[in-house]
């Protein structure tokens, strides 16, 4: 399955005002079939991107990693396939399918795949408290 990467297709897929349904298994297979995965052992695609939240689907080949980094908001990580090692400082947490990890804003962390893995990363983006609720109020 080829992923939708043209500007028009990607823009349509990322509109937060629309209802979207993602076939995660097919998308994982598509990510693994792309040259980026063959070359580096990792690949990903943003499923949702708006001013409040990002949802990213990542795939990692066994042994591949994401070097230490920080997120601009609190994150959740949910493993769909395989097993990953999630490191925060000296603490290493093993994550498997069915488990959910939550990490506060700006905490340095790294990820390494113990097996071929796929996971969903959600980032809640900072904003004024109550701003998103006010924008959805009905007059």
pLDDT digit string, tens, across residues 92-135: 999 999 999 999 999 999 999 999 999 999 999 987 655 544 45
Q: Which CATH architecture has domain 7-125?
A: Sandwich (2.60)
Cβ neighbour number for residue 124 with a 10 Å cutoff: 15
Q: Per the structure block, which two tokens stand in for 37? A: 């995965």
Q: Are 110 and 65 in contact (CB under 8 A)?
A: yes
Going from N- to C-terminal start, the domains of the chain cover 7-125
pLDDT band at residue 8 under the 50/70/90 scheme? low
Query: What pTM does this model have?
Result: 0.82
pLDDT digit string, tens, across residues 52-90: 999 999 999 999 999 999 999 999 999 999 999 999 999
């Amino acid at each position: 399955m080829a992923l939708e990467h043209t500007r028009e297709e990607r823009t349509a897929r990322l509109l937060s005002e629309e209802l979207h349904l993602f076939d995660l298994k097919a998308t994982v297979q598509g990510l693994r079939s792309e040259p980026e995965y063959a070359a580096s052992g990792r690949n990903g695609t943003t499923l949702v991107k708006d001013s409040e939240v990002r949802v990213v689907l990542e795939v990692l080949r066994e042994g591949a990693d994401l070097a230490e980094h920080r997120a601009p908001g609190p994150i959740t990580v949910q493993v769909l396939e395989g097993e990953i090692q999630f490191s925060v400082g000296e603490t290493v947490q093993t994550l498997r399918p069915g488990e959910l990890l939550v990490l506060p804003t700006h905490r340095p962390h790294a990820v390494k795949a113990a097996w071929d893995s796929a996971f969903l990363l959600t980032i809640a983006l900072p904003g004024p408290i109550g701003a998103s609720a006010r924008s959805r109020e009905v007059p």
